Chains A and B, each alone.
Chain A
Amino acid sequence: MKRRTVFKAIAGALSVGMLAAGMASASAQTKVGFVYVGPIGDHGWTYRHDLGRLAIEKEFGDKVKTTYVESVKEGPDSERVIRQLASTGHDLIFTTSFGFMNPTIKVAKRFPNVKFEHATGYKQADNVATYSARFYEGRYIAGVIAGKISKANKIGYVASFPIPEVVRGINAFLLGARSVNPDMSISVVWVNSWYDPGKEGDAAKALIDQGADIITQHTDSPAPLQVAENRGVKGFGQASDMEHFAPKAQLSAIIDDWNPYYIERTRAVIDGTWKSQDVWQGLAEGMVRMSPYKNMPADIAKLAKETEEAIRSGKLHPFAGPIKDQSGKVVVEAGKVADAGMLLGMNFYVEGVEGSLPK
C-alpha cells in the first residue's frame, strides 16, 4: 500500500519535473520565488514581504505561481536556496535581506535569464535590481510626534546593528524630534540581533529605567512595545502595525508596504519590460506608510499628518541642512539636502544622540 503511493509519487514528481523543464523555456505562467530571512509569522519584516507575495497572487491570478522559502540563514545556505529557485524555472526571485547580497550576485551570474530583486543591497547586475524603502521618512514623522509628546525629552531606541540603515533611522528620528523641540535627546541600546524578544524587551526596560519616555525600535519583535505598554510609556511599532500588542502605547507604526512595487516588477517581467535598476522609494510612492495616529491629542495627530504630507510632496526633506554631527561639525549646510552617498553610507550620529557609534 505504501509502496504504491511512493511509486505513484515518484512517477508524479518525475513527470512534474519534466513538464516544468519543458515549460521553463516557454512559460505561459510566470514563476516568482521569494527567499525570506525569517518566518512569515514574525509579524514584522518577513510578514510584510509575504503580504507582497500574496498581493502578486491576487493581482495576477493564474498568470503567476509563487514559491517561498522562509527562515533561510544568511550565508552558504542562502546561495543554495536561491540557486534551487533559479534552476527550477523561476523567472523572478526576490531575496529579502541584506545578507543575501553576495549569494544573489553569484547565482545571478550563472542564470542570466532569471531576474533578481535584492532588498536593501548595493550591488546590481544586468539581471539584478536592488530596492529599498526610505524608512527614514517615517522615522522623521515619528520623531516629530515624540518631540511633542515626550515630557522627559528623552527617547529610547532599541537598535539591532550599527549599519547605515539603522543609523539613518536614529538620526532622522532625532532630527524630526528636534525640529519641534530642540532639547530632545536619544539614547541607543544595541542588541546585535534583528529578532530576540527577550533581549529587546530588556533593552526597552533599561532605556525606560534610564529616563526615556518614548520607546522606538529597529528590531523586529513587539517586545519593546509590550514593555512600553506595561510601563505606561508610549512607543512606535516597526515594519507593521503592532497595535494589538500595545493598544494604549502605540502612537503610530512605520509600515513597509511592498505590494505596489512587487506587483509593478512582476508585471514588468510578464510584459518583458524588466530592466535592472536601483530604487529607493518612500511615502510618495507608497512603499512606506504610517499606521493611524492614535493615543495622542488631536493637534499632534494633525501636525503628524501635515509633516507626512510635506515629505510626500517633496516640500520637506528629513535630512535638509543645517545638520551638525556630534562633534558640532556641520555636515549638511543650510539650504542643502544630504546626498544619496551620505545617506547610504551614514556612519555618524547627529547632535543630540547620546553615546558614540560602536566602531
Chain B
Amino acid sequence: MVRLESRGDVSRAWSLLSPVVAIVLTLISGVVIFSAMGKDPGLALYTYFVQPLTTAFGITELLVKATPLVLIGIGLSIGFRANVWNIGAEGQFTIGAIVGGGIAIAFHDSESFLLLPVVLVAGVFGGMAWAAIPAFLKTRFNANEILTSLMLTYVAVLLLSYLVHGPWRDPDGYNFPESRLFPDAAMMPVLWEDSRLHLGAAFAVLAVVAGWVILSRAVIGFQLRVVGQAPAAAKHAGFSQNKLIWFALLLGGGLAGLAGVAEVAGTIGQLLPSISPGYGFTAIIVAFLGRLHPVGVLLAGLIMALSYIGGEVAQIEIGLPAAVTGLFQGILLFFLLGCDVLTHFRIRFGAPGRTKGG
C-alpha cells in the first residue's frame, strides 16, 4: 500500500525541484495538447516560450506584463505565509488605479514634477484603504477575508465602470466610456527607449528586495512566518494576531494599488472600464508558483507573463486559440500543487507502524 509519511521538516531539495518538475510536466502536457490539436508541438512550444524572447521588444513587453504580477505577488505571498488570504487584490489594484488616476485627471493641466509622485502615493493609499476593509471586518467581526475581499473586487470593478461611463468621462471623447488621457507629468517615465518598459518594473524589483528583507530580517516578518506555520506557538509567544492581519492586508493592498496606478499611468495612460486581465488573481498563482519566496515570486511572475505573451504570439504565428493560455496556466498550477506534496511528505510503501522508534 502506498502512503504519505510526514517528513517532519520541509525538504529543501524538493522545495526547489518541485517547480522545475511541474514546469517540465506542463511542457510535456503542452506537447500532448498541441499534437492533439494538429499543430507541430515543437514549433508550438518554441513560439509560445522562446520566440517572445528573441526580440528586444519581446523582452521589454515581458517585463511590462510581469511588473504588476510581481508587485502584487510579493504582497500576497507575505500575507499567505501568515495564512491571511487576500483574494481581493484585483479590487485593490482597481481602486489604486481609480484614486491615482483620479488625481491625474483632476490635475490634467498640471506640468509639475510633483504630480507623478502624488499620483503614485495616492494609488498606494487607495489600495491600502480597500484592503483595510477586509482587515477591519476580520479583526473586528471575525468575517472571513477570502469572501469579503472577493466581494469587494466586484464592487471595485463596478465602481470603475460607473466612473468611466459617467462623471469621469472624457468631455472631448464623444461620450465613449473612457477618461481623459493623463497629462505627461503624471505618466511613468520610460526606462528603455522605444518600448513600454516603465518605472513600474523598477518598483517591482524594489518590492522583491523589500519583501526579502521583511521576511528574513524584520521582526514582523518572523512573526508572520510563525503565525502561519505554528499558530499555537505564535499565540503563546504573544504575537498580536490582529496586528499581523492588518499588516499583511495593508501590505498586499498597498502593493496591489501601486501595481494598479502604475499600470494606468504607465501602460494605459487613462482610465478604461477594463484595466486588468485578472492580474489580481493571476498573482495568486504567481505567489504559489514562487513558493511564497520573494525571488521565487519574481521568477514566477516572469514565467506567467511569458505564458500570456507567448499565447498572443502563438495566435499570430500558428493560429493557436487564445484559450490555450488559461489551460496552460491551470495545468502548471495543478502540477505544481501536486509536486508540492513531496516537499512535506515522502512516499512510503508497506503498512504503517514500522516506524524507526519501533
Contact = CB atoms under 8 A, between A and B. Distances in A.
> Does chain A bind chain B?
yes
A164 B272 contact: no
A13 B175 contact: no
A135 B244 CA distance: 58
Nearest to A110: B194
Contact of B277 (A9, A12, A77, A161): A77
B43 A13 contact: yes
B61 interface: yes
A272 interface: no
Interface in B276-325: 277, 309, 312-313, 315-316, 321-322
Contacts of B309: 80
A68 to B, nearest CB: 8
B41 interface: yes
Nearest to A345: B174
A40 to B, nearest CB: 10
Contacts of B277: 73, 75, 77
Interface stretch (B14-22, B44-52, B74-82, B230-238): B44-52
A98 B176 contact: yes
B263 interface: yes
B212 interface: no
A69 B309 CA distance: 13
A90 to B, nearest CB: 9
Given A74-B272, A76-B263, A88-B316, A5 B40 contact: yes
B342 to A, nearest CB: 25
B175 A69 contact: no
Contacts of A277: none
B89 to A, nearest CB: 18
Given A76-B267, A102-B181, A344-B174, A84 B313 contact: yes
B270 interface: yes
Interface string A338-359: 0000001111000000000011
Contacts of A347: 175
Interface residues of B, number: 43
B275 A13 contact: no
B57 interface: yes
Contact of A358 (B54, B165, B181, B313): B165
B140 to A, nearest CB: 34
Contacts of B57: 83, 87
Interface string B14-44: 0000000000000000010000000011110
A297 B175 CA distance: 39
Interface in A50-96: 67, 69-77, 79-81, 83-85, 87-88
Contacts of B45: 6, 9
A164 B172 CA distance: 13
A99 B174 CA distance: 13
B134 interface: no
Nearest to B50: A10
Contact of A102 (B43, B46, B64, B269): B269
Contacts of A71: 322
Interface residues of A, number: 45
A162 interface: yes
B166 interface: yes
A163 interface: yes
Contacts of B269: 102
B48 to A, nearest CB: 11
B189 interface: no
B337 interface: no
B148 interface: no
A192 interface: yes
B312 A80 contact: yes
Contact of A9 (B43, B165, B174, B270): B43
Interface in B316-346: 316, 321-322
Contact of A81 (B43, B196, B316): B316
A75 B272 contact: yes
Contacts of B83: none
B175 A164 contact: yes
Given A10-B50, A163-B176, A102 B270 contact: yes
A161 B43 contact: no
Contacts of B316: 33, 67, 69, 81, 84-85, 88
A122 B172 CA distance: 11
A329 interface: no
Contacts of A244: none
B175 A162 contact: yes
Contact of A69 (B40, B64, B312): B312
B37 to A, nearest CB: 16
Contacts of A79: 196, 267
Given A163-B176, A358-B165, A358-B166, A75 B46 contact: no
A315 interface: no
B50 A163 contact: no
Interface in B136-151: none
Contacts of A76: 64, 196, 263, 267-268
B257 to A, nearest CB: 18
B228 interface: no
A72 B267 CA distance: 16
Contacts of A110: 194
Interface string A1-44: 01001101110110001000000000000000100000000000
A63 B309 CA distance: 30
Nearest to B158: A192
B183 interface: no
A177 to B, nearest CB: 23
B241 interface: no
Nearest to A80: B61
B274 A74 contact: yes
A163 B177 contact: yes
B60 to A, nearest CB: 10
Interface of B: 31, 40-43, 45-47, 50-51, 54-55, 57, 61, 64, 161, 165-167, 174-178, 181, 194, 196, 263, 267-270, 272, 274-275, 277, 309, 312-313, 315-316, 321-322
20 contacts: A2-B42, A5-B41, A10-B42, A12-B43, A13-B43, A13-B47, A13-B51, A69-B312, A70-B315, A71-B322, A72-B312, A75-B277, A79-B196, A80-B309, A84-B316, A122-B174, A162-B165, A163-B174, A347-B175, A359-B166
Nearest 9 CB-CB pairs, A to B? Answer: A9-B42, A5-B42, A9-B43, A76-B267, A6-B42, A71-B322, A69-B315, A347-B175, A345-B174
